[in-house]
Amino acid sequence: MNSFNPLLIGAEAANNFVAGRRLVGDGMAMDVRRPSDGNVYAALDSAGAGQVDAAVENAWSAFKTSGWASTDPRARMKVMRRWADLIEADAARLAPLEAVGSTRTIGEILAWDLSYTAECLRFFAEFADKMGGEVVATTPDKLGMTITEPYGVVAAVAPWNLPLVMAAWKIAPAIAAGNSVVLKPSELTPFSIVRVAELAIEAGLPAGVFNVVQGDGLSVGDPLCRHPRVSKVSFTGSTATGIAIMRACAETGPKPVTLELGGKSPQIVFADSKDLGQAAATVARAITLNSGQVCVAGSRLLVQDKVAEEVVGRIVAAFEAHRMGATWDDATTMGPIISEKQLGQIDGTVSRALAAGGEAVTGGRRAPAPQQGSYYLPTLLTGLAQDSEAVQGEIFGPVLTVQTFADEEEAYALANDSAYGLAAGVHTGNLDRALRATRALEAGTVWVNRYGRSNDFMLPTGGFKQSGIGKDLGREAYAANLKSKAALIQL
């Protein structure tokens, strides 16, 4: 299966999931649109205030009484492995459901998203019996220990840009550690995760350990984070929303948070790169992947002046080779922007950059597409000042700014002159320079001669500065879903 008919994909009547079954929300009804053509294809039944409370209370009850937290860790592992297998086996249903209302093409979902989601569950399941407390050194007449325990109920708020993948980052470590989870997906991409919740029950996860509540941030997300039964919150999204969530957790806890927030990630190309063609292709993909709607999008190109013309020319050619279209079209190489609102924000930033003296070497406007929808041409901007809005602000679209540098010192100064610090890329054939760059760059992840995440789940991801606190993935993410206590026993 490589394509599907979008007219056959809709939502079921009940799109919340509480206590092991679908639940019709009694909150605000919301239209859900296909970004590929702008049409409303389903209605979302948001959870009402009482239902959000009930979902958390049910998760708490499941934590206390289901036995999930206290069961043999390897038994938890087996359930999560079955869950992962069921997700992969359900591709014929899950992939179209994920693609129709999102910016992810059906080909990308089948090739990567579903298998990555399943493997994320398997990876964290393996930690269930491999991380715990330890015995500490003390005098012979005492036994000192640290003991780890799950928090109880973890609230997770997931974004729209990679719906299943980002949800897996939140739910997999929390559930593997023995917690219950209440997830609020984005109201723009709400449906596929409900099917995943059904598969969890089929795999043997006790009812209530994973609940899903639907709605917007104000009516559902905020009260979920503030609920007194919620002991930890994990969020991926904008820096502004992350600050609001952190404030809510401080006011109602304090409770710990994991925040993966915005980015304005530099890609540095040195003249000594062994393959400038490959470097240019990597840079181009890092900003056009998912139409630039990725937190770690490499949105700032810093290229050494002596090779700038060649690298920019290659990137322009890569940009102009894209075929934009619907997520269900097999020929699509670059999909839509999530909404008209987001497209308007992208276009506004670019328009202001051009008015301030910048030049769009290619793109710079809305894309003509074979159907109605929200599409923006991959855009390369030059001639901008370092303090330009387009250079400093997260655009979250396929817009790449270009600046040149003469030497390493200037490259790192430009790269670090940002409020964000999520990721960075470096292209060089010099190992010493690669190591210097890795240390010099103020970013939570540095890629060398590549850009973007892979299936190396052991590598944590998270940012510096306004890009967030805490880590997703890696042992750090699993440990962040456990609290520890100290015990000292007099013998």
- The pLDDT assigned to 10 comes to 87
pLDDT in tens, 456-474: 999 999 999 999 999 999 9
Cα–Cα distance, 171 to 443 (Å, whole number): 25
- The pLDDT assigned to 219 comes to 97
- Work out the number of other CB atoms within 10 angstroms of the CB of residue 233: 26
Residue 266: pLDDT band with limits 50, 70, 90: very high
- The pLDDT assigned to 49 comes to 96
Tokens 């930690």 correspond to what residue? 127
What's the rounded mean pLDDT across residues 63-81? 97
What's the rounded mean pLDDT across residues 278-296? 98
| Confidence check: pLDDT of 315 > 60 | yes
Q: pLDDT > 70: what percent of the chain?
A: 99
CB 319 within 8 A of CB 284: yes
Cα–Cα distance, 244 to 434 (Å, whole number): 37
pLDDT in tens, 103-159: 999 999 999 999 999 999 999 999 999 998 999 999 999 999 999 999 999 999 999
| Confidence check: pLDDT of 405 > 50 | yes
Q: Given the residues 108, 187, 260, 394, select the one marked as catalytic.
A: 260
What's the rounded mean pLDDT across residues 56-72? 97
Q: Is 220 exposed, middle or buried (0-12, 13-18, 19+ CB in 10 A)?
A: buried
Residue 475: pLDDT band with limits 50, 70, 90: very high
Tokens 């630039």 correspond to what residue? 292
What's the rounded mean pLDDT across residues 305-333? 97
Does the annotation count 320 as an active-site position?
Answer: no
Dihedral sign from CA coordinates of 296, 300, 302, 307: positive
What's the rounded mean pLDDT across residues 348-369? 95
- The pLDDT assigned to 208 comes to 98
- The pLDDT assigned to 1 comes to 46
Distance of CA 94 to the CA centre of its chain: 18
Residue 3: pLDDT band with limits 50, 70, 90: confident
- The pLDDT assigned to 369 comes to 67
* Torsion angle defined by CA atoms of residues 334, 111, 165 and 82, in that order, rounded to the nearest 10 degrees: 160
Token pair belonging to 220: 């559902």
Residue 13: pLDDT band with limits 50, 70, 90: confident
Does the annotation count 120 as an active-site position?
Answer: no
- The pLDDT assigned to 331 comes to 94
- The pLDDT assigned to 470 comes to 97
Burial 266-305 (b: 16+ CB within 10 A, else e): bbbbbbebeebeebbebbbebbbbbbbbbbbbbbbbbbbe
Indicate the DSSP class of residue 112.
Answer: I
pLDDT in tens, 362-373: 999 999 866 689
Q: Given the residues 120, 225, 249, 295, select the one marked as catalytic.
A: 295
Phi-psi region of 329 (alpha: psi -120 to 50; beta: other; left: phi over 0): beta
pLDDT in tens, 210-248: 999 999 999 999 999 999 999 999 999 999 999 999 999
Nearest to 26 by CA among 56, 62, 54: 54
